[in-house]
Amino acid sequence: MAATIRRVRSSARIRQIALTSGWLLVFLISLLPILGIVVGLWPPEQVTFADLKPFLAYQGLSVSIFMTLFSAIFSTLVSLYIAFMVYSQYHLSQRLQSFEKYLAPLLSLPHLAIALGLVFLFSDGSLFFVDPGLPRKGLSTLILAIVIKEVPFFLLIFSAIGRQLPIKYWLLQGKALGYQDYRCWWFLVFPPLLKQSRLALLAAAAYTLSVVDVSLLVGPNIPELFAVSVYRWQTSFAAGDQALAFWANVMLVILLAVTVFILYAHEKLAHGACKSLATQGSRFYLGKINPIFTAWLPMLGLLTAMMVVVFALWSFGFNWHSDSLVLTQLTTKLWQDEWLFFSLPLQNSLLIGFFAGLLGVALALLALELQRQKGKYWPDYYWLLAIILPQLSMVLGWQIMHIWSQGGYHSGWIVLSHLPFTFAYAYLVLKGPFLNVEPRYELLAASFGYSSWQSWWQVRFRLLLPAVFTAFAIAFSVSISQYIPTLMMGAGRVTTITTEAVAIGTGTQQDLIALYVLLQSILPFMAFFVAALLARRFRGSMGGNSVRDY
Amino acid sequence: MLEIIDCQIQAKTWRITLPDIHLNKGELLVITGPSGIGKSTLLHWLLGNNPQHVAITGQILLSGINVTDLAIEQRRVGLLMQDVYLFPHLNVQDNICFALPKTPQLSSKKQRRFAAMKMLEQIKLAHLARRYPQNLSGGERSRVGLIRALANQPQVMLLDEPFAALDPSTREQMGTWAFQQLTEQNIPSVMVSHDVEDIPSSAKQLCLADYYQTLEQIKAEMSDD
C-alpha cells in the first residue's frame, strides 16, 4: 500500500509539471495574435499625428475603404442568407448525411483558386463568357468568389450548431400551430442560429477585410482594395510610406470594430424583424423561393469540378481559340518545363502544411483537454483570435519580432507563423466533437484499471480520431492557402505554391497561372481525400463529418 | 469481501448515516429509495468517482484493504450502468479484451482475443464477437456489458439500475442470468434499483430513506441530547 501511495505521489508531481507546461505552451500560441497586433500597431518613433493628414488625404482612400468594408459585410451577409436557405432545405432530410460529407472537399478549394476559377470560366475571353461577363479584376468577381467559398463554411457552422438545438421539435410545434414550414424556419430557427453564428460571421468578414492575395489578383484596380494598399505601404521604403502603413493598420482595426458593430446591428435588426413578423402572425413569401436553394450544392460541386478541369486543360496546353477542339492536342510540355521551378515550392508547401497542420491539431486537443480538466471552457473568441483579428497587422507584428530575434529565414518560422491559424481552425472543428465524448467511457476505462493518460489515449482520442483526421485536413488546407504570413516571415526566400501562384497570377501567362492554381487546389483536396479514407478505416463515435469549418 | 464503515452522506439540508455494511463473496446488496436521495451518488463514491454536490465520508474496505483514498483505476471495482457504454470504436470481442486484466498469461493480443472469445462462448454469444455495439439489441448489449465488467475480475461489482432500459420480459431474464453469473463467480455486488421486482429473494436490502434525516431533525436530536 505504501508503494502504491508513493507511486501515486510521484505520478501526481509528473502530472502537475505536464499540466503547467501544457498551459504555458497553449498560452504562448494563443497569445501570438494579440502580441502580433500590439507590436504591429506600436507606433514607430518617427510617426506623429501630423502624418495622419497625408494618410487621410491619400487619393482614393475613402472609396477604397468603402469598397473594402462593403465587400466584407455584403459578401458575409449574402453568404449567411444563402447558407440558411440551403440549410433549411437539407436539414432533417435523408440527404443531410451525404451533404455534410461533400461539404468538406468543396471547402477545400482555396479562395484564390475559386477567384481565378471564376475568371477562367466567365470573364472576357473565357469559355462561358457572356457579355458583359465577370470583370477580370473587379468588386463583383471578388464578392462572388468569397460568397462561393463562405456558403459551405456557414453550412458547416449551422449543421454543428443545429446538432445542439432541438430544431425538429421547434418546427413541429410551429407547424402544429398552423405556420408553414418556411415560416417556422424564419421565425423559430433563424434567430437562435444567427446568434450562435456570431463568431463565424466575424471570422468571414475579418478575412475579407484584410485578404491580400485574392484582392490583388481579382479585386478592383483604381482604387485598389484597402488591404492591398496597406501591404504595399508596409513593404515600401519610400519616404513617408511607413507612416502611411502605421495609420493604415490603425484604420484596419477601426474597420474591424465597425464591422463588429454592423454585424451586431444586423443581428438585432434581424431579431427584431423576425420577432415582429412572428408576433403579428405575418405572412411573407420569401421562403417560397427556398426550393431553388436545393440546387445550390450540386451546382457548387459542378462549378468546382469545372474550375479544376479548366485549370487542368489550360496547363496541358489546350487551345480554346483553335478551330478544332480536340484533346489530342494536350501536351505535358509545360509541366515538364515547370517541374524544375515548382518542385521546391511544392515540397515546401507539403512540409509546412504537414507540420503546421499536425501541431495545430495537437495544440487544439491540448487546449481542449486542459480546459476539460479545469472544468471550465474559455470563450471561443479567445482561442479564435487569429482568425478574427486583421491578419495584416498581426503578421506585421510577428515580422518585426522575427527581425528582432534575427532568426533567419528557415521554414520553421513559416510553420510557426501558420500555427496560430491552423490551431484556431482545428480548435473550431474539434471543440464540438470533443465536448460530445461521453465522459462515462473514460470512467469505465478507469474502472478497468487504465490510468487517466491511458484512457485518454485509448478511449477519448480513439473516439475523436475521425474528427481529428478532418481537423488535420482543414488545418493543412489553411496552411497551404496562407499567403501573407509565408511571404512576410519568409521574406520571399521560402516559396510555396501559394506565393508562386500569386506572383505568377499577377502576370499574364494564362497556362502557367492555371498550372499553379491547379497545384494549389489539388493539395487540400488530397488531404481531404486521405482524411476521408482514414476516417472510414477508424471507427469513432464522433463522425468525421462533424466538422465546422474550412 | 466488501465492507463500508462509518459512511455518511452530507448535503446542505439533509444527511444520511448508514449502518456498517459487510458483504461476503457472491452476496448482493440492493440499495433502494426515492429518486434524488443519493443512491447513485453512493455507488459512484464506491467506484472512486467522488460526487461534487454532497460530501461522503467513511471507509471502503475490499478484502480487508482500505481503498477509500485510491483512484478509480487502482480499486478494481466493476461498474454496469443502465446505458452499458460499450466502446463504439471497438467490436464486442475487443471491448472484452480492453477490460481483461494485464497478466503474464494475457499479455499478447492473441491470448487476450482467445480469452475474450472463450467468455463469449460460455454465454453462447460467440456469434456477436465481430459485431459493433451499434448493431446489438438492448438485451445483447447488457449481456456483453456484464461479461466485459466480469472480464476485469473485479473485487466488487456495482450495478446502477442496469436493466431499467430493457423491456419487461428481457429484464426478468437478464436479471436472473446476471445474478447467477455474479454468484457463480463469487463476486459481492451492490445494486441500485427503483424497481422492487428486480430484486432476487436472497439479496440484502438497504433503503436509504430509513436513514435520512433533515437538518431540523438533526438539530432536534442534538438538542434532545
A61: three-class secondary structure by DSSP: helix
Partners of B87 on chain A (C-beta within 8 Å) are 441, 459, 462-463
The answer to whether B99 faces chain A, any CB pair under 8 Å, is yes
pLDDT of residue A549 exceeding 60: no
Contact yes or no for A415/A352 (Cβ under 8 A): yes
Contact A449 B77 (CB under 8 A): no
Give the model's pLDDT for residue A548: 27
> Which comes out higher in pLDDT, residue A530 or A546?
A530
pLDDT of residue A79 exceeding 90: yes
Q: What is the CATH number of domain A11-40+338-550?
A: 1.10.3720.10
Partners of A441 on chain B (C-beta within 8 Å) are 85, 87
- 3-state SS, A110-179, equals CHHHHHHHHHHHHECCCCCCCCCCECCCCHHHHHHHHHHHHHHHHHHHHHHHHCCCCHHHHHHHHHHCCC
Contact B65 A1 (CB under 8 A): yes
Nearest CA-CA distance, residue B103 and chain A, Å: 12
**DSSP code per residue over A62-82:** HHHHHHHHHHHHHHHHHHHHH
Contact A444 B79 (CB under 8 A): yes
Q: Which tens digit of pLDDT belongs to each residue from A117-170?
A: 888 888 776 666 666 777 778 888 899 999 998 998 888 888 878 877 888 888
Partners of B75 on chain A (C-beta within 8 Å) are 447
Q: Which tens digit of pLDDT belongs to each residue from A214-223?
A: 888 888 888 8
Percentage of residues of chain A with pLDDT beyond 90: 28
Closest Cα in chain B to A464: B89
Residue A18 to residue A451: CA distance in whole angstroms: 15
Residue A80 to residue A101: CA distance in whole angstroms: 20
Q: Which tens digit of pLDDT belongs to each residue from A228-240?
A: 988 888 888 777 7
Contact A440 B83 (CB under 8 A): yes
Contact A538 B48 (CB under 8 A): no
Contact A446 B72 (CB under 8 A): yes
Least CB-CB distance to B47: which of A438, A447, A455?
A447
Q: Render each residue's pLDDT in chain B as its tens digit; 225 residues.
A: 899 999 999 988 889 999 999 999 889 999 988 888 888 889 999 998 888 888 999 999 999 899 998 888 888 899 888 888 888 888 999 999 988 888 888 888 899 999 999 999 988 899 999 999 888 988 899 889 989 998 988 999 999 888 887 888 888 888 888 888 888 889 999 999 877 666 777 888 888 889 988 888 888 877 876
Q: Indicate the domain borders of chain B.
A: 2-86+155-224, 88-135
The answer to whether A273 faces chain B, any CB pair under 8 Å, is no
Query: Grid coordinates standing for A98?
Result: 451525404
Residue in A447, A453, A456, A459 to test binding to B, most B beta-carbons within 10 Å: A447
Contact yes or no for A116/A222 (Cβ under 8 A): no
The answer to whether A448 faces chain B, any CB pair under 8 Å, is yes
Contact A538 B89 (CB under 8 A): yes
Contact B87 A449 (CB under 8 A): no
Nearest CA-CA distance, residue A452 and chain B, Å: 8
Percentage of residues of chain A with pLDDT beyond 70: 89
The stretch A402-408 carries a mean pLDDT of 84
The answer to whether B164 faces chain A, any CB pair under 8 Å, is no
The answer to whether A3 faces chain B, any CB pair under 8 Å, is no
Q: Which tens digit of pLDDT belongs to each residue from A291-321?
A: 677 778 888 888 888 888 888 888 887 766 6
- 3-state SS, A407-423, equals CCCCHHHHHHHHHHHHH
pLDDT band at A81 (very low <50, low <70, confident <90, very high): very high
Out of 3.40.50.300, 3.20.20.60, 3.40.50.2300, 3.30.360.10, the CATH code matching B2-86+155-224 is 3.40.50.300
Contact yes or no for A21/A358 (Cβ under 8 A): no
Surface of B (63-82) touching A: CB under 8 A: 65-66, 70-79, 81
> Widest CA span of chain B, in angstroms?
67
Residue in B72, B103, B112, B160 to test binding to A, most A beta-carbons within 10 Å: B72
Q: Which tens digit of pLDDT belongs to each residue from A427-438?
A: 988 988 898 888
User: Residue A221: which of A129, A341, A141, A312 has the closest Cα?
Assistant: A141
Give the model's pLDDT for residue A241: 81
Partners of B47 on chain A (C-beta within 8 Å) are 443, 447
Q: Which tens digit of pLDDT belongs to each residue from A98-107?
A: 666 677 777 7
Give the model's pLDDT for residue A422: 95
> Which comes out higher in pLDDT, residue A421 or B104?
A421
Least CB-CB distance to A448: which of B71, B132, B152?
B152
Give the model's pLDDT for residue A286: 58
Give the model's pLDDT for residue A70: 94
For B151-162, b/e burial (b = at least 16 CB within 10 A) is bbebbbbbbbbb
Query: Grid coordinates standing for A489?
Result: 516571415
Give the model's pLDDT for residue A287: 53
Least confident of A67-76, A126-135, A465-474: A126-135
Surface of A (457-476) touching B: CB under 8 A: 458-459, 462-463, 465
- 3-state SS, A178-190, equals CCCHHHHHHHHHH
Closest Cα in chain B to A453: B73
Contact A447 B72 (CB under 8 A): yes
Contact yes or no for A147/A79 (Cβ under 8 A): yes
Q: Which tens digit of pLDDT belongs to each residue from A438-447?
A: 888 999 999 9
User: Residue B108: which of A170, B116, A126 has the closest Cα?
Assistant: B116
pLDDT band at A539 (very low <50, low <70, confident <90, very high): low
Least CB-CB distance to A443: which of B49, B132, B149?
B49
Closest Cα in chain B to A458: B98
- Type of residue found at A493: R
Partners of A9 on chain B (C-beta within 8 Å) are none
Contact B73 A458 (CB under 8 A): no
Contact A449 B83 (CB under 8 A): no
Chain centroid to CA B203: 14
Closest Cα in chain A to B97: A448
pLDDT band at A8 (very low <50, low <70, confident <90, very high): low
The answer to whether A178 faces chain B, any CB pair under 8 Å, is no
Q: What is the DSSP letter of B63?
A: T
pLDDT band at A540 (very low <50, low <70, confident <90, very high): low
Cis before B19? omega within 30: no
Q: Could you report the predicted ipTM of this complex, rounded to two decimals?
A: 0.82
Contact A450 B73 (CB under 8 A): yes
How high is the mean pLDDT of chain A?
84
Torsion of CA A262, A268, A273, A275, to 10 degrees: 170
Least CB-CB distance to A449: which of B49, B76, B88?
B76
The stretch A266-271 carries a mean pLDDT of 92
User: Residue A537: which of A465, A472, A456 has the closest Cα?
Assistant: A465
Least CB-CB distance to B87: which of A1, A441, A538?
A441
User: Residue B148: which of B161, B135, B162 has the closest Cα?
Assistant: B162
Contact B132 A539 (CB under 8 A): yes
Nearest CA-CA distance, residue A464 and chain B, Å: 10
- How many other C-beta atoms can be found within 10 angstroms of the C-beta atom of residue A283? 9
Give the model's pLDDT for residue A550: 28
- How many other C-beta atoms can be found within 10 angstroms of the C-beta atom of residue B185? 14
pLDDT band at A541 (very low <50, low <70, confident <90, very high): very low
Strands (E), A441-529: none
Nearest CA-CA distance, residue A5 and chain B, Å: 8
pLDDT of residue A546 exceeding 60: no
